[in-house]
Amino acid sequence: MIDLLDVRVSYSGQEALDGLSLHVSKGALLGVIGPGACGKSTMCRVIAGLVQPDSGEVFVNRCNFRTCSRHELQTMQRNIGVQFQNDALFEHLSVLDNVAYPLTRLTAMAPSEIEGRAMESLATVGLAGFENRLPNRLSGGQRRRVALARACITRPAILICDEPTAGLDPQTSRTILDMIAGIRYQTKSTVVVVSSDVVGLFSISSRIALVWNGKIIEEDSTTVIRQSERAEVQRFLDDARLPFAGWTWD
Amino acid sequence: MGLKLSLIQVGHLILLISEQIGGAAILLGQIFKRLIPPRFDALEFRKCLFSMGYKSLSIMIATAFVVGVILVIQSFVFVERYGMRSQLGWGAGFVIIRELGPVLLALMFSGRVGAFTTAELGTMTVTEQVDGLRCLAIDPISFLVVPRFLAMIISLASLTLIGNAVALVSASIMGEIMMDVDSHTFWSSLFSMLTAGDIFLSVTKSVLFGAIIAVNSCYFGLSTTGGAPGVGIAVNRTVVSSAVAVFVVDFFSTFVLG
Ligand SMILES: Nc1ncnc2c1ncn2[C@@H]1O[C@H](COP(=O)(O)OP(=O)(O)O)[C@@H](O)[C@H]1O
Ligand SMILES: [Mg+2]
C-alpha cells in the first residue's frame, strides 16, 4: 500500500530524512516510534504528498508520486486522511463544520447528508454534543479527537496520525489510540500512527517501526520488536516500562 | 573586525531582501497563472471583499477626512502670503488626488488589512491548516491567495476613490472656515484644472499599491515559520516592506506616468 524507497529530504542543507525506506501493506496498522526531531513528521508529510523528496521514490497504492499526473496525485491525496501534529483545525469554523469540511469541499453530497456523516464521525470519537463549539473552546484531547474525526470522515484508504497523543495524559492518550484502532477496524484502512505512548502503540499496532536520525532502523511485528537485542530499541522499551520516562541508572 | 562584521551583516541583509523579493515575485507569477483562466474560490473572494473593503470604510474615511483638513491648515501660510485663495481647490485636489490620497490610504490599508492577512495566513501556516488544505488537494494559492489579491486591489482602489472625495470635501469645508474660500470658488477651481489623467494616476497608483500589499502580506504569511513568535515577525516584515515598496513604486509611477 505504502512504499518509500531510499527517501531523502533536507531542509536548508540539514538532512531530515536520510535514505528512509518503508513498506506498509494494505490493512496494516504501523506504529512509528523514535526520538524527537528524527524525521517522523517529515515521513508522514512525504507519504501524504505534502513534501517532495529530494531523491528516492514514493509509491502509494502503486501510484508513483514523482511520475504520476497531477490529477492522479490529487485523487491519491484525497484518499489519504491526515491528522496533523498541531491538529490544524480551522479556528473560525465550528467543530461540526471542521469535521464536515473535507466533504463540503470535495464532494457534491447534500448538506443534510454531510451533516449526518459529520455527526456520525463525531460520535465515533465521543464528541457528540460539541458540534457548535469553536475549536478554541476545546481541551487538547478534544481538539485531537476533532482532528481525528476530520481526518477519517472521507473514509480514506490511508489514515496518517502524527502524534495524536502528544501532551495528553496517559488515559486520554490510550483512549485516542483505541479510537484509531476502532476506526481502522471499521473502515479497513491502512493506518500509520506516530506516538510516544509506546505501551499504547504496541497494544494497537500490527507492526512497529523505529525511526532514528532520518532512517528506519528496525521494522517488524510487535512481538519481534519486543525481543529485539538492539540497544536503541531496548532503550525505547525500557523508557516505556520505567515509571519516569527518560530515567536511566547511569 | 567591526568593519568586517558589518559587511557580513550587510551581505546577510541583501541576501534576505533578495530572497523576499524573489519569493514575492514567484508568488505573483503563481497568482497570474491562476488568473488566466480564472481559477479561484468565489465565496472566499466575497468574504474578503466584505472584510477588507466594506469593513475598512469607516477608518479610511476618517483618515481621508483628516488628510484634507491638515492639508488646508498647512497650506494656510502660503495661500495667505501669495493671495491664492481662488486656487486653493486646484492645489488641494492636485496634491490629494495624485499623491496624498493613494499613498496615505495605502499605508493605512497595509496597517489594517495587510497586517491582518499576514497574521491570518501565518497562523494558518504554522498550525498546519494550510497543509490541511493541501492534503485535501485544495490549492492554497487559488483558495487563499488569489481571492485576497483581487479583493485587496479592488478594495483599495475603491476606497482611494472614496477617500479622495472625502478629503476634498473636508478640505473645502476647512478652506471655508479658515480662509473664507467659499465652496463655489473651491470646486470651480478644482474642476477647471482637474484632468482625467490625475484620476487615472490616482487609480493606477492604488491598484499598484493594492497589489504590492496583497503579494507582500500573502508571501510573508505563507512563508511564516517558528510558531506564534514567527507570526509576529512576519507581520512586522509585511508592514515594513509594504511601506518601503509603496514609496518606491510611488516614486517611479509619479515619474513615469507624470
Ligand atoms: N519546515 C521545516 N523547516 C526546516 N527544518 C525542518 C522543518 N520541518 C522539520 N525540520 C527539521 O527536520 C528534522 C526532522 O523533523 P520532524 O520530521 O518534524 O521530526 P519529528 O516529527 O520526528 O520530531 C528536525 O531536525 C527539524 O528541525
Ligand atoms: Mg513530529
Q: Tell the residue nearest (CA) to atom 26 of ligand 1.
A: A37
How many CA atoms within 13 Å lie on the side-chain side of A51?
22
Q: What local confidence, expressed as pLDDT, does residue B2 receive? A: 66
Distances (CA, A) of B117 to A78, A97, B238, B239: 27, 22, 10, 11
Does position A100 have pLDDT exceeding 80, yes or no? yes
Q: Tell the residue nearest (CA) to atom 17 of ligand 1.
A: A39
Q: What is the mean pLDDT of chain B?
A: 92
Rounded (10°) CA dihedral A145, A150, A153, A156: -100
Instruction: Indicate the pLDDT class of residue B37, thresholds 50, 70 and 90.
Output: confident
Partner residue facing A50 (CB), from B126, B127, B134: B134
Residues forming beta bridges with residue A58, ordered by sequence position: A4
Using a pLDDT cut of 70, give the percent of chain B over it.
99
Instruction: Indicate the pLDDT class of residue B137, thresholds 50, 70 and 90.
Output: confident
Quote the cell numbers at residue B40.
479561484
Mutate: best of A52, A75, A90, A150, partner B, most B CBs <10 A: A90
Q: What local confidence, expressed as pLDDT, does residue B41 receive? A: 86
Taking only the tens place, the pLDDT of each residue in A40-58 is: 999 999 999 989 999 999 9
Taking only the tens place, the pLDDT of each residue in A16-41 is: 999 999 999 999 999 999 988 999 99
Q: What local confidence, expressed as pLDDT, does residue B1 receive? A: 56
Top pLDDT among B76 and A3 is at: A3
Q: Hey, where are the domains in chain B? A: 40-257
Mutate: best of A77, A85, A161, partner B, most B CBs <10 A: A77
Query: If you ran DSSP here, which 8-state letter would residue A26 be given?
Result: T
Instruction: Note whether A105 contacts B136, CB cutoff 8 Å.
Output: yes
Residues forming beta bridges with residue A14, ordered by sequence position: A11
Q: What local confidence, expressed as pLDDT, does residue A245 receive? A: 45
Distances (CA, A) of A52 to A34, A118, B21, B81, B100: 22, 31, 24, 69, 47
Does position A244 have pLDDT exceeding 60, yes or no? no
For residues B1-24, average pLDDT: 86
From the list B224, B30, B19, B22, the residue with the least C-alpha distance to B145 is B30
Is A71's Cβ below 8 Å from some Cβ in B? no
Which residues does chain B have within 8 Å of residue A91's beta carbon, measured at their own beta carbons?
A: 123, 127, 129
- The type of residue at A180 is I
Top pLDDT among A181 and B138 is at: A181
Q: What local confidence, expressed as pLDDT, does residue A248 receive? A: 46
Q: What local confidence, expressed as pLDDT, does residue A111 receive? A: 93
Spell out the alpha helix ranges (H) of chain A.
40-47, 70-78, 95-106, 111-124, 140-152, 170-187, 198-204, 222-226, 231-241
Taking only the tens place, the pLDDT of each residue in B42-67 is: 889 999 999 999 999 999 999 999 99
| Structure ipTM | 0.73
Taking only the tens place, the pLDDT of each residue in A181-238 is: 999 999 999 999 999 999 899 999 999 999 999 999 999 999 898 888 888 888 878 7
- Tell me if residue A32 falls in helix, strand or coil: strand
For residues A7-24, average pLDDT: 93
Is A51's Cβ below 8 Å from some Cβ in B? no
Q: What distance in Å separates residue B128's CA from the closest CA in chain A?
A: 5
Taking only the tens place, the pLDDT of each residue in A166-181 is: 888 889 999 999 999 9
Q: What local confidence, expressed as pLDDT, does residue A78 receive? A: 86
Phi, psi of A44 (to 5 degrees): -60, -40
Is A79's Cβ below 8 Å from some Cβ in B? no
Does position A246 have pLDDT exceeding 80, yes or no? no
Spell out the alpha helix ranges (H) of chain B.
2-33, 42-48, 57-82, 88-95, 101-109, 115-126, 129-135, 140, 146-179, 183-193, 196-222, 227-257
Q: Per residue in A29-52, is it b (16+ CB within 10 Å) or e — as a string? A: bbbbbbeeebbbbbbbbbbbbbbe
The residue with cell 482602489 is: B157
